[in-house]
Structures are given as C-alpha cells and as structure tokens.
C-alpha cells in the first residue's frame, strides 16, 4: 500500500480526535465524561449486547435528565419524535389490555429507551460536528475490529453450525453488528471512496471489502442481503451509479457462485433461502408469521400486547393451522400488527415513514456530504417490510438498529444546520 495513503489516513484520524479533544476542553466535567462514554459505544457493542444495552440506556437517561434539569424540550416539536411517542402510547395501551398485562407492560415501558437514545444522539451528543466525526471514526474502527474478530474465527476454528460464525457473542448472529450498527458508516465511507479517484478510491474500496466479505461468511442470509441492498442504493445515487451497481451485482453473483465450491454457503444463500421464502406452506418463516396473523385476528384493534407473542403463541396455535411458535414472528410489521393491532401498525408505519423522510431531507440541503447523502438508506434498509427481522420490542438487535438510525438522523440534522447557517 502507498505510504502516502497511510500517512493521509493517519492524519485525518488524528485531526478528528484533536478536534474532539478541543470540543471537550470547553464543556463541564460531567458532560465531558458523558461524551467520552458516548463515543465508546461501538466498542461496548462489540463486547456483548447487555453491556451495549446498558451503554445505550445510560446515554438516553443522561439526555433525559439533562433536558429536565435545563427545561429543554424543544426537540419534542419534531414530527418524527412525536410519532415515536404516539406509537409508544398505543403500545402501552395495548399492553394494559393484554392477557399478560404485567409482562407486556414491562416490555412496552422499557422499549422507549431505544428511540430515546436516537433522540439523544441527534439533539444532544452529535449537535457538534466534531463529536459526530469522532463517533464515525469509532464506528469505523469498530467495524474493522469486528471484521478481524470474524476473520480470526474462520482461521482458528472455521465456520461451524452449518456455515455460521459465532464470535464474539457466542450466538449465530454476530453479523448484525456489521449489517445494522455499521451500516451508516459503511455506506458513507463507500460513497466517499467512489467519489474520489486514484489510490484513495482503490485502497478505500479494498478496505471496505473486508467487512462486506466477513458479513457474507457469517452465513446470515438476511443481514447480508439487506446490507447488499443498501450498497446497491448507495451506488445508484452516486455519479455513474447504474454502471457501478451492475458491476457490484456481478461481483455479488460471482461470490455466491464461487461459494458453491467452498462449504455450505451455496446451500444457505441459494437452496435454503429459496425453500424459506414465505410463499410455500412449509416455509419456517410463514409458519412463524402465521402466529402473529392469528394474534391479529384474535385482537385486531389493540393486539395481544407488546412482546406477548412468545407467551401466547401456543394458545393461539390451538385454533389455527400451520403455526410454528418462536420467541417472535421474525417480521417487524407482522409482529407489530399482532401485538399492538391495527392502531399500532398504522402508528408504526407513520413513525418509520417520518424517520425515513427526515433522513432523506439531508439530500435537499446546500451543503451535503457523503454521510448526509446516504443517510436515508439506513432507515429504509432497517425498516424495510419485506425481510425477516428480530424482535421489535426486544434487546437482541434494537441496540444496533437504533444506534444506526441515530447516526443517520444526526447526519441529516447537521446537514440541515449547515444549510441554515
């Protein structure tokens, strides 16, 4: 690699953290500690999901206490913020009417910590662009660290559990970190690299190829496909985008084709994926979805209560055919419909739409950058309805999802501020 590229990269990273340190020098000791704790988040998420949840929750609470102390509630005027609280109120109402009200109410009450963290990122932690770039740098380092961890697992023990990787969490979903938490920084970095020429583009794209390849090697179909979808959209909206998207699709097809000769990846990404499509009666996803559909039909207005599917699905399966009960039905929209009813589903669609619209508004400013231009892609991918997902009210992926949404909306907000200044 050209030593000038390494020197330039080191210079950029050094400047980012020098600027961040200059920002810290002008604030109080309590806030200084909070900001340092905040930008360490990508590495808390690498440790394990419970420490990451604790980090997210503490940041959200600090923001809430600060707003109460300073009586600063101006951020409540934004439509996307209000739409979140409308959905939450409906979820709480649904929980109070559930057959398991105490359990469901507890799950609904604490769910607000996820979007509240996003609000903390947008309206407090990343109000200054120096903090935003420090967070991006830490996220990029976290993305590379996860890639190295997964590569180490492949070298040391190899893929297990039918072509799946498990480090560092010890479960079958480590790719969620790359596909969700790292999605905004990956897309912004991708658009930055393809907008440049010469060695910066070449070496930058080679570096980004590592997390992309590692995500494929985790064997996580939906995470890889949704991530690839985001990459395609980023390429399409960049200059000469159609040509680059075609090249990317060709490379993607080649990767999957070559994988047929190396382990179980072809079976997972082609054969098993085809049989899992919820168009066939024996599809495992269709059977999981049917449980939430049964929940919706039993309580169409308010649903059976947030996160109550895992407890009530066996009872629902008695009167319906072709249901396979899991901890959640593996689709946000179907889960929300079953657990919060039609009112919850409508308010959730409005909430998702408001978030996407707010992120997309960055493209209309006079001072866009690569992260602002690609900001809308992350919430589109993360809340895309035609995919399998984790538990909408659970901890498993929400830490990753809402931290990514926070970065996307912060990029949009900073771009809007640049326009008005």
Give domain limits for the chain: 3-420
Q: At 3, is the pLDDT very low, low, confident or very high (cuts 50, 70, 90)?
A: low
Residues above pLDDT 90, as percent of the chain = 69
Average pLDDT over residues 379-401: 94
pLDDT for the residue numbered 96: 97
| Residue 367 confidence (pLDDT) above 70 | no
pLDDT for the residue numbered 322: 87
| Residue 263 confidence (pLDDT) above 70 | no
Q: At 10, is the pLDDT very low, low, confident or very high (cuts 50, 70, 90)?
A: confident
Q: Compute CA distances 182 → 47, 52, 298, whole Å.
A: 15, 14, 38
pLDDT for the residue numbered 343: 98
Q: What CA–CA distance (Å, rounded) separates 222 from 241?
A: 24
| Residue 124 confidence (pLDDT) above 90 | yes
Q: Compute CA distances 63 → 67, 151, 282, whole Å.
A: 6, 37, 47
Count CB atoms within 10 A of the CB of residue 159: 20
pLDDT digits (tens, 9 = 90+) for 297-354: 999 999 999 999 999 999 988 878 889 898 999 999 999 999 999 999 999 999 999 9
pLDDT for the residue numbered 224: 93
Count CB atoms within 10 A of the CB of residue 391: 21
The more confidently predicted of residues 77 and 261 is: 77
The more confidently predicted of residues 261 and 376 is: 376
Cβ-contact 17, 6 below 8 angstroms: no
Average pLDDT over residues 79-96: 98
pLDDT digits (tens, 9 = 90+) for 26-47: 999 999 999 999 999 999 999 9
pLDDT for the residue numbered 269: 79
pLDDT for the residue numbered 125: 98
pLDDT digits (tens, 9 = 90+) for 45-83: 999 889 999 999 999 999 999 999 999 999 999 999 999
pLDDT digits (tens, 9 = 90+) for 234-250: 998 887 777 888 888 88
| Residue 147 confidence (pLDDT) above 90 | yes
Average pLDDT over residues 139-146: 97
| Residue 258 confidence (pLDDT) above 90 | no
| Residue 281 confidence (pLDDT) above 90 | no
Average pLDDT over residues 109-136: 97
């Amino acid at each position: 690699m050209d030593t000038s590229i390494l020197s330039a990269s080191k210079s950029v990273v050094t400047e980012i953290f020098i600027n961040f340190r200059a920002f810290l020098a002008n604030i109080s000791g309590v806030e200084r500690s909070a900001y340092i704790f905040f930008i360490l988040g990508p590495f808390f998420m690498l440790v394990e999901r419970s420490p990451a949840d604790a980090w997210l929750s503490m940041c959200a609470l600090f923001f809430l206490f600060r707003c109460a102390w300073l009586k600063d509630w101006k951020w409540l005027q934004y439509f996307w913020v209000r739409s979140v609280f409308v959905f939450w109120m409906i979820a709480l109402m649904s929980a109070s009417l559930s057959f398991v009200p105490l359990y469901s109410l507890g799950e609904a009450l604490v769910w607000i910590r996820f979007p509240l963290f996003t609000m903390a990122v947008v309206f407090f932690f990343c109000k200054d662009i120096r903090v935003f770039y420090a967070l991006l740098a830490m996220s990029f380092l976290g993305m590379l660290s996860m890639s190295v961890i997964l590569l180490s697992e492949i070298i040391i023990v190899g893929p297990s559990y039918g072509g799946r990787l498990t480090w560092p969490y010890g479960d079958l979903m480590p790719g969620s970190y790359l596909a969700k938490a790292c999605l905004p920084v990956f897309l912004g970095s991708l658009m930055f690299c393809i907008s440049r020429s010469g060695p910066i583009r070449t070496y930058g794209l080679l570096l980004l190829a590592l997390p992309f390849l590692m995500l494929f090697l985790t064997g996580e179909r939906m995470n890889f496909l949704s991530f690839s979808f985001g990459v395609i959209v980023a390429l399409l909206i960049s200059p000469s985008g159609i040509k680059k998207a075609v090249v990317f699709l060709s490379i993607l097809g080649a990767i999957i084709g070559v994988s047929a000769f190396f382990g179980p990846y072809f079976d997972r990404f082609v054969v098993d994926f085809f049989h899992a499509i919820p168009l066939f009666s024996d599809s495992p996803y269709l059977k999981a979805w049917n449980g939430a559909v049964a929940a919706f039909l039993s309580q169409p207005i308010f649903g059976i209560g947030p996160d109550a599917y895992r407890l009530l699905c066996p009872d629902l399966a008695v009167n319906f055919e072709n249901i396979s009960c899991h901890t959640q039905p593996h689709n946000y929209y179907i889960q929300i419909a079953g657990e919060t009813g039609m009112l919850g589903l409508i308010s959730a669609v409005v909430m998702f739409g408001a978030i996407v619209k707010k992120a997309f508004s960055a493209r209309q400013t006079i001072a866009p950058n690569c992260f602002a231009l690609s900001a809308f892609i992350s919430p589109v991918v993360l809340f895309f309805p035609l995919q399998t997902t984790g538990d909408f009210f659970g901890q498993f992926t929400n830490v990753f999802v809402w931290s990514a949404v926070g970065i996307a909306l912060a990029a949009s907000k900073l771009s809007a501020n640049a326009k008005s200044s």
